[in-house]
């Protein structure tokens, strides 16, 4: 395994692995992702149903992505960083877990390193207790490296590394928020500030 953690070697390795994924992604899947914002915009469905469709498509990408990323069961470094979610996603998590989400009256913007090293309230041990209901940002995030070296909280904010930007899915989330009466964005810890109670699921 190539474990050279120099910046030059890391970026080259990650770009190579990302390119390998893009080569094998089904064209049909990429076309559906491109068309997703228009579909979400026109769809006569609830905001939660729309989120479910976005999640499902991102999960399809994740299945293809698995051989090319460092992410695996028990790796939880990315669960110790800022996790921005919408109030709709907070409601979705609350419904799935039975835990009440804090009511916010405005969006909350934090510095990128605000929660570096602080575990997500739904992290239990090194597993996500709401994995099946995790928010968009968690589903969309992945490291194309071979290990979690650059994912560690002490390092993650010092570099900008290659990612796979699912612009269609991201815009689809924007479309859902546009159709929401009072959309809010904040960190998951703003909505669920206390220690999370146990929830079904996990990695």
Q: Is residue 51 part of a domain?
A: yes
Q: Is residue 203 part of a domain?
A: no
Q: Is residue 201 part of a domain?
A: no
Estimate the crossing angle of helix 87-97 against helix 47-65, to 10 degrees: 80
Question: pLDDT tens digits for 155-186?
Answer: 887 788 888 989 999 999 999 999 999 999 99
Q: b vs e for 45-55, b when ≥16 Cβ sit within 10 Å of the residue's Cβ? A: eebeebbebbb
In this predicted structure, what is the pLDDT of residue 200?
Answer: 37
Q: Is residue 82 part of a domain?
A: yes
Which residue did the predictor score with more confidence, 153 or 135?
135
In this predicted structure, what is the pLDDT of residue 157?
Answer: 76
CB 187 within 8 A of CB 110: yes
Supply 91's token pair: 């409601």
Q: Is residue 49 part of a domain?
A: yes
Q: b vs e for 106-127, b when ≥16 Cβ sit within 10 Å of the residue's Cβ? A: eeeeeeeeebbeebbbbbbeee
Number of structural domains (the chain) is 1
Asked if pLDDT for residue 201 goes beyond 70, the answer is no
Q: Is residue 181 part of a domain?
A: yes
Which residue did the predictor score with more confidence, 46 or 155?
46
In this predicted structure, what is the pLDDT of residue 195?
Answer: 54
Asked if pLDDT for residue 196 goes beyond 50, the answer is no
In this predicted structure, what is the pLDDT of residue 121?
Answer: 95
**Residues facing 86 on adjacent strands:** 185
Residues 6+ apart with CB under 8 A from 164: 18, 21, 22, 61, 65, 142, 144
How many other CB atoms are there within 10 angstroms of residue 154's CB atom? 8
Q: Is residue 180 part of a domain?
A: yes
Question: pLDDT tens digits for 66-94?
Answer: 999 999 888 899 999 999 999 999 999 99
Q: Is residue 154 part of a domain?
A: yes
| Residues 34, 30: Cα–Cα separation, whole Å | 6
| Residues 122, 188: Cα–Cα separation, whole Å | 9
Which residue range forms the structural domain that includes residue 60?
Answer: 7-191
């Amino acid at each position: 395994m190539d474990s050279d953690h120099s910046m030059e070697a890391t970026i080259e390795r990650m770009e190579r692995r990302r390119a390998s994924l893009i080569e094998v992604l089904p064209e049909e899947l990429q076309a559906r992702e491109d068309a997703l914002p228009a579909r979400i915009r026109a769809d006569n469905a609830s905001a939660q149903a729309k989120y479910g469709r976005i999640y499902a498509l991102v999960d399809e990408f994740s299945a293809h992505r698995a051989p090319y990323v460092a992410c695996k069961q028990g790796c939880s470094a990315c669960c110790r960083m800022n996790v921005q979610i919408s109030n709709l996603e907070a409601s979705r998590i609350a419904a799935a877990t039975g835990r009440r989400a804090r009511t916010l009256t405005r969006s909350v913007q934090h510095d990128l390193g605000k929660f570096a090293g602080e575990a997500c309230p739904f992290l239990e041990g090194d597993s996500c207790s709401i994995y099946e209901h995790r928010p968009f940002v968690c589903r969309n995030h992945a490291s194309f490296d071979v290990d979690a070296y650059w994912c560690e909280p002490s390092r993650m904010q010092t570099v900008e590394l290659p990612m796979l930007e699912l612009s269609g899915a991201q815009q689809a989330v924007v479309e859902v928020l546009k159709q929401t009466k009072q959309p809010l964005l904040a960190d998951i810890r703003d909505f669920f500030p206390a220690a999370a109670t146990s929830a079904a699921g996990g990695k």
